[in-house]
A and B are shown apart, each in its own frame.
Chain A
Amino acid sequence: MNAPIEVEQLSVSYARGTKRVTAVQDASFTVAEGECVGFIGANGAGKSTTIKALMGFLFADQGEARLFGRPAKDPKGRQQVGYLPEVALYYPYMRARELLTLYGTLSGLKTADLRQRIPAALEQVGLGGREKDLLRTFSKGMQQRLGIAQALIAQPALLILDEISSGLDPLGRYDLRQLLIKLREEGRTIFFSSHELSEVESLCDRVIMIDQGRICKEVTQRELQAIGQQQSLESFFINTVREETD
């Protein structure tokens, strides 16, 4: 059986004015079924670019990104994927229920399933009872919660979450952490990027670090625990990145 995520010697560049900037260079990693993997790096390190290449939004110059064994550009690979973008606004003229109906339908859910799942998904992210509210009335934190609900609506086997805790208050972060723990216990594969290293440390089986477009370190949970006895993940990350830069 194919791993949910496979990245092989991936290089991605994009145009900035007349120049081409290489955002990810020769990146390789795999995320196995049931794993919870954190993806960390400084701003501009290439986290979101890697995730966008995985989702088929950006195209590889070299190498390949695969979801469940299918190339990233193949929409069928996204059948079992729930994705939370780094920054996304949701249609302000829609109601929460209408938005989730749209995304659920595109994921192939039947109307009867949607009727059950929409209230449950909203409840799960603390937006219970807000089904009929227009999204223009939602705060940034509520939009982020809604983003998590849309990622979960089709009950995907793989969750790819870019900057999960962005815009959430401490209570929201706590709720999200509990939700991720529950999803991990259910056996879902989770791959997420975050600047909240304590969150990464407490949730992940493995951490992948990226710096200046290159994967610079992969740390397993056992190594994380060993590191945790001496220093925090934050200090370890800063030292690793500095070593790479030097």
Chain B
Amino acid sequence: MKHARAIVAIARSVTLEAIRRKEIYVLIAACLLLTGLAFSLNIFDLGGLVKFYREITLRLMGTFTAVAVSLLAVRQLPREFEQRTIYPLLARPVPRSVFILGKAVGVLLVALASYALFVTIYIIGMHYLDGELAWGLLWQHVYLQFLQMGLLTSGAFLLSLLVSPDAAATLALLLYFASNVMGHMALSLYELTHTAGRAFLHLLTYALPQFVLFDLSGKVLHSEIWDPLSLSVMGALTAYALIYSLLYGVGAYALFRRRPL
């Protein structure tokens, strides 16, 4: 690919920022601390502890990575504008699409690295507790979480070009955390509303990503009764994530492409 080196160079600068600014360490440390606490609680029998550890760790892994990704992604473009660091970058023979792609790849690399760290800790903990690891479901969960991070990144980029970085972070996290509740709420409301209300609920369902679809932690937790998802379901979820990521990404690029700097 013609611009591969440029994308890697920009992505590297994002990862350097995440490492050197140390904010991400706070999130990782907090996650590890809570995981350690879950691990050391002595109020359950061994079977109960394994389940408790599994549930807490899987939920924390997803939540902390989502927070880290959102905070990192929403400030990538606005900070470049604000500090005017974008000028020497775009003064090179680099199209704006390559710039935005490099930034997204960088955020995803940071997400992947922090999630890989959490998964490693989870596996070590499970190994120590002699808990059974449902490998199939676990890897599917990890894969879907990564797709979710891509979706969150492109959504955060789009939001950061529409509203202030603080508002974008709040909205991105609100969408992430409310996704589960909204899914159930929309179903209940659908029964209670008429044509206009239902049309609005349809619009909401299709316009906003359903992050809850990418969370298999409940299945991993109860792996004794759940089999891994079929290939067709995994394929459909992959397509869903890619389509939404692409839509948000194209939206972000369309705004950025014509933005005067």
Contacts and interface: CB of A to CB of B under 8 A. Distances in A.
Interface of A: 14, 52, 55-59, 75-79, 81-83, 85, 87-91, 93-94, 98, 101-103, 105-108, 147, 150-151
Contacts of A83: 87-88, 91
B261 interface: yes
Contact of B94 (A14, A52, A75, A91): A75
Nearest to A13: B260
Nearest to A103: B88
Given A58-B260, A94-B16, A102-B12, A108 B93 contact: yes
Given A58-B261, A93-B16, A103-B92, 19 more contacts: A14-B260, A52-B261, A57-B90, A57-B261, A75-B94, A75-B95, A77-B93, A81-B91, A83-B87, A85-B84, A89-B84, A91-B16, A91-B85, A93-B21, A94-B20, A102-B89, A103-B89, A106-B9, A106-B92
B91 A102 contact: no
Nearest to B89: A106
Which of A52, A76, A94, A102 gathers most chain B CB within 10 Å? A102
Nearest to A12: B260
Interface size class of B (residues with CB under 8 A): 20 to 34
B258 interface: yes
B212 interface: no
A200 to B, nearest CB: 22
B261 A106 contact: no
A78 B89 CA distance: 11
Contacts of A79: 93
B89 A59 contact: no
A58 B84 CA distance: 14
Nearest to B82: A89
Contacts of B9: 101-102, 105-106
Contacts of A107: 92-93
21 contacts: A56-B90, A59-B258, A75-B94, A75-B95, A76-B93, A78-B91, A79-B93, A82-B91, A85-B84, A87-B84, A88-B84, A93-B16, A93-B21, A94-B20, A102-B12, A102-B89, A103-B89, A105-B5, A106-B9, A106-B94, A108-B93
A72 B20 CA distance: 35
